[in-house]
Structure 1
């Protein structure tokens, strides 16, 4: 069974996201924990969350995925940005103990000129200050494309973060197909080789979710430009190979392609044909 969904808006409620997912033929979804370009978070409606949990149980949902806001930059040298990242991260973990969601994805961050090692130390410091080891949520580092001063474009950089985290058993990975392709990992012609490298450096047991996106730009471009499924440089054939790969096929896949709900529904229908 293909476990697939897309990114949905939490503004109309958690149960509504579940209903929209079902309507589009999905059995999971991703949502932002708070304003993706800001920092405010909507007050939790416990009755709404209870209804979502019931809907998920009745419809055999795969794990859903919470996504941190883009403004969360744990690698920043700016104290106000870094302190916001700590506050938002801590608050999100508390909220996710209430929401029926055990996966929390975030972009490792940008060191903005201070260097990768500096940025990694800043990220690890936040994780170690906030995480207690008692969380029921798996915290996922997302693979990045490497644009600008992004951290996480290589498996080695992600490993460096994990190795500095005290409760590293709670750290997993979200693999973004557009990002890894743009970072130079040839998932089109050498998917097995990329996964073997991932396993050697990070361990496939840490891979918990896939952001399923095509790429507008070439292999190794180091640009973050998502394309619709089969409409980019990765192509439909390679994406079909990804969703059916024995190592990946049981993971939850999340579309972040540049379409609305109707567009994502068409993509889900397309992928289910294969």
Structure 2
């Protein structure tokens, strides 16, 4: 099973595979730049070589990047739209150069309230960037919690975006299901696991489910709030994760944690909580 967590790239992407090994990960998620800044970076040939060497050395079998939190490909603001598109292309370019498997992106915020326009524009810009940057990196639309005018909290919206991607690149577009986000959005993974999975299958198709973000939720069901908790310590509880870990339909789907990392007694320790959460998930699998 491909299982791991989001790991730091402090000091360069080259350090991420070792940090994955430190927590026993076979799958990792990274940022290829600071996610809260517009400043673009290019990864050097040396950085790419060292990163790829580390992936091989440390046995990481799946690696995905998460794009910048500032990007909004659904905005109605033409200035922000162009800035977001340039940043998204940069994210995709770095992912291609590093040899990552996928790039996770949030579907954006329809700032003018025009959901149809936001979905159409987002899909159009993603497709354009994929065509221009080339490569084989998948683009994964992440499910969202649904606060404000954020898109992607309903399976139907994700399906509409996928359908608007041209066939030439549509095969490289999938969905990242965040367990906290879908629960907060109103899909009851705790009370109706089978129903939620069936709805995803009917609306989007299980073949489009390419990655899980495994996060419990600090807030109640249908809260529309994105607040991650440690596995089994939030309102989702253990059972949905036990089901996911043993669901044979998803045996091939990578899973990464985005749960809190810092120990209150030692903020510099960024491995203990990941190890603890991963051990809990593996225990569900062994049970």
TM-score, normalising length from structure 2? 0.89
Offset of 1:263 from its aligned partner?
1.4
Query: Which of residues 216, 223, 226 is equivalent to 1:224?
Result: 226
Contact 2:8 2:19 in 1 (8 A): no
Three-state SS of the structure 2 residue aligned to 1:10 is coil
Corresponding residue of 1:209: 211
Structure 1 gaps of 5+ residues are none
Corresponding residue of 2:275: 265
Q: For the residues of structure 1 that align with 2:154 and 2:100, how far apart are their CA atoms?
A: 27
Three-state SS of the structure 2 residue aligned to 1:239 is helix
Q: For the residues of structure 1 that align with 2:90 and 2:17, how far apart are their CA atoms?
A: 23
Contact 2:14 2:47 in 1 (8 A): yes
Offset of 1:189 from its aligned partner?
2.5
Contact 2:75 2:110 in 1 (8 A): yes
Offset of 1:247 from its aligned partner?
1.7
Corresponding residue of 2:53: 54
Three-state SS of the structure 2 residue aligned to 1:208 is strand
Structure 2 gaps of 5+ residues are 263-269
For 1:225-244, what aligned pairs fall within 5 Å after superposition? Answer: 225-244=227-246
Offset of 1:59 from its aligned partner?
4.0
Corresponding residue of 1:189: 191
Three-state SS of the structure 2 residue aligned to 1:163 is helix
Corresponding residue of 2:265: none
Q: For the residues of structure 1 that align with 2:245 and 2:45, how far apart are their CA atoms?
A: 34
TM-score, normalising length from structure 1? 0.93
Q: Is 2:93 the counterpart of 1:76?
A: no
Contact 1:62 1:252 in 2 (8 A): no
Q: For the residues of structure 2 that align with 1:137 and 1:160, how far apart are their CA atoms?
A: 21
For 1:146-185, what aligned pairs fall within 5 Å after superposition? Answer: 146-166=146-166, 167-185=169-187
Corresponding residue of 2:32: 33
Q: For the residues of structure 2 that align with 1:4 and 1:208, how far apart are their CA atoms?
A: 13
Three-state SS of the structure 1 residue aligned to 2:27 is coil
Q: For the residues of structure 1 that align with 2:220 and 2:112, how far apart are their CA atoms?
A: 25
Contact 2:109 2:150 in 1 (8 A): yes
What RMSD, in angstroms, separates the aligned Cα atoms of the two structures? 1.7
The count of residues paired between Structure 1 and Structure 2 equals 273
Three-state SS of the structure 2 residue aligned to 1:266 is helix
Corresponding residue of 1:108: 107
